Structure 1
Amino acid sequence: MTGTAEGVARAYAARWLWKAAVPAALPVFGALTLLLIPLAVLAAPQASTQPASSACSTAGTAATVAGIALEAVQMGQAQTIVRVAAARGLGPHAATVALATAYQESRIRMLANDGSSPHLTAQQAAVTATSLTYAHDGLGADHDSVNTFQQRWTAGWGTVAQLMDPVHAADAFYARLVQVPDWQTVPLTRAAQAVQNSAAGGAYAGWEPLARELTAMLWPAAQDSAATPGGAVAAVCPGLPVPAGSWVRPSPGAVTSGYGPRQGVLHAGVDLAGPRNTPVYAATGGSVTTAACTSAFCDRDGNLNVAGYGNLVELDHGNGVTTRYAHLTGFTVTPGQQVPAGALLGFQGSTGNSTGVHLHFEVRQNGAPVDPLPWLADRGVDLHAPHPT
């Protein structure tokens, strides 16, 4: 690890060190893992089939920037890139260079790679194809290049698992950018090319207006995120228009794992998998009892070796009923806050004890987990029904 990378690691460690007390303060949270995350909800007098929407993400809705239409997915990836620059203590120019590079390389999308390039050996192709097992926004096929910056594991950028982590991808770009002599004053395209060593290095300059305007849009929130520890983010997305007392689908996405035994351990909830930063909503009205990072770190994706739920929101609906929303990239509420049904709580992610982007949603009644599928079905919400994505 380079000195720069070590410095970033120490910065991240310092930034999230305070969270070590959270599992201690919430022992039931710290002791459980993804398989043990539960959730419950209060009976409502009026049911609702209002679908959840994924048209918004942590960066807001889709936007037109410098005359270029960007989807919410692209805006979400852009926000990650800008946030990492702020977390490293770099100025907005670094984010501008990175965004111009990412737009040229991937249109600011997290690309996987199926390994079909004829330039790869069979072994290299197999390793590259493992990128398909990680959350991604589309496919690329240039050698073994993956992610928003099209970084290559065979070129020493990191393992495929690391490169498919948006935070690592951005951090790796900045680690090399700051080693470029006079990177802050040389033309953007020269700085980007020094990092990327691309066959089309002159193309980065064409996206400088887009990158500058996009940085200006996202930099204030990135600075706030860097200055405030925790997974809190601005509530940039509107809540769902839901009648009081109704129940709603907590997030878009397909059911990928239901309630019940899993390898001898109870999976006490249901998993809904959608794109990274898909909005997560309150299934019904209640009081926020927890909005915190419950793992050692929540600024990047976790894995099965990380204990805790990552960023977790828990709601108390009264009469012994609570609901939990786990593995969020960030949350938009604070403990003690009263929220109505359909209120935005946070965004789907893979923090904590998790292996892929999803919402782990649970229902508990008097402390005991119940199956969310029939619980919600009794209240007019069918998680298996078609829904917007």
Structure 2
Amino acid sequence: MTDDAASSTPRRTLRRGAVAAALTALLALLCCLGGAGAFLLTELGDEQKDDPSIAGLTCGTSHTVKSTGIMPRFTKYGDDQIRNAAVIIKVGQDMKVPARGWVIAVATAMQESALRNLGHLGRRNDHDSVGLFQQRPSQGWGTPAQLQDPAYAAGKFYQKLLTIPDWERLSLWEAAQKVQVSAFPYAYAKHEDLAGQIVDALAGGAARTVQLGAKAVCNVAAGARIAASGWTAPLPGGVVSGFRTAARPAHNGVDLAADKETPIHAAASGRVLVARCDPDHSGRRDCDVDGYPGKGGCGWFVDILHAGGYITRYCHMIRRPLVKPGQLVTVGEEIGRSGSSGNSSGPHLHFEVHVDGDRSKAGAINPVPFMRERGAPVDRTA
């Protein structure tokens, strides 16, 4: 099968954040012992990213989280802050909250307090807010002393979260907002990716799990199944053509097996950037017919911006996408149906992942390890 990335994509390259090799090696050593309106790009993507190696982690939720001893290191967060994250996760474990709740709780505390157990800040304080979650005694959350106990504060957060219908399928910012009632609800979104990495580092790969009944199962997020990380595979078909192979060095994504009319799901919550017919090499926009090799263009395609500055692309849809530019979508939401429009030799989904908000080929990365690290592998047949 043949594909072109969107032919009219802007050729802009944003500077990528550097990750120290020593940090990656340290996290690999420590971790592997464990079994609304449109929001702006900066509001989704300004969280500094870490990239701990988690490929060898024992994936699951049985790993006992400890808040003592050596803590994994993350840029911007010291030992005390990561210990507070560990307390949040441990409380979630003890309360038997699915791992998705741990990611939501950690991301919420990252936004509210930068994972610091804050006392009353006087004039700088938001009313009488205190603690990791900036909960207010006057709103009935507890006494100031109770709310400055990280375990108590986390427990109160989870108690409220569990009362929200279908909370596990909400966008992280929506779930957090229903608990916190913040004046800046979208701000929670930018912490999701790093919160998932912290949960993985402290809880043995738990962010890669899907809660199926009473059991947490690894690496099965697809369609209606959403990993604790907040990601899902766009469709269940395996890879039939890889990323920038020797035979196809300009193939900036992977082709996933799919018959015509297979539902395509948003791989994560975010905002639609593009949903249109990509012109072929001659400039024609005739996407309502099957394409052919050498035609050029993605056919009907969608680009979605996600927390952390990630962008996913979905090409060769059979007809006009079900979403529009500027629309907020939730992970797992159907955005279109697979087909063979554009530069294509047969029905399939061409799927790309880009970093740093860069829609050009310079921002493209291999989707296979990226999705596997988030518990939503695309390199398998389901």
TM bin (shorter chain)? 0.3 to 0.5
Q: TM-score, normalised by structure 1?
A: 0.40
The structure carrying a bigger helix percent of its residues is 1
The structure carrying a bigger strand percent of its residues is 1
Q: TM-score, normalised by structure 2?
A: 0.40
Q: Higher RCO, 1 or 2 (CA under 8 Å, sep at least 6)?
A: 1
